[in-house]
Copies of this chain bind each other. A is one copy, B any other.
Amino acid sequence: MESIHVKLNEVVLRDGLQLEDKILSIEEKLEIYAALKKAGIQSFEFGAFVHPKRVPQMANSGEFFSRIEKDKAEASLIALIPNLKGAERAREAGVQTVNYVLSISDSHNLQNVQQPTAKSLEDLKEIRWYCGKNGMVLNVSCATTFGCPFEGEIPEERVLEILGEIVLLDIPLITLADTTGMAHPKQVHGLMKRILEQFPNQTFNLHFHNTRGMGLANVLAGVKAGVRNFDTALGGIGGCPFAPGATGNVCTEDVVHMLQLMDLETETDLDGLLAASDLLSEAIGHASPSYLMKAGPSTQKYPLPVTQ
Contacts and interface: CB of A to CB of B under 8 A. Distances in A.
Copies of this chain present in the complex amount to: 2
A299 B146 CA distance: 12
Interface in A169-226: 181-182, 184-187, 210-217, 220
A149 B305 CA distance: 12
B184 A258 contact: yes
A263 interface: yes
B150 A302 contact: yes
Contacts of A266: none
Contact of A217 (B111, B150, B220, B251): B220
A220 B302 contact: no
Interface of A: 107, 110-111, 147, 149-152, 181-182, 184-187, 210-217, 220, 244-245, 247, 251, 254, 257-258, 261-263, 291-292, 294-305
18 contacts: A107-B304, A147-B298, A149-B302, A152-B299, A152-B301, A181-B295, A182-B298, A184-B261, A184-B298, A185-B220, A210-B213, A210-B291, A212-B258, A213-B213, A213-B254, A213-B258, A217-B258, A245-B302
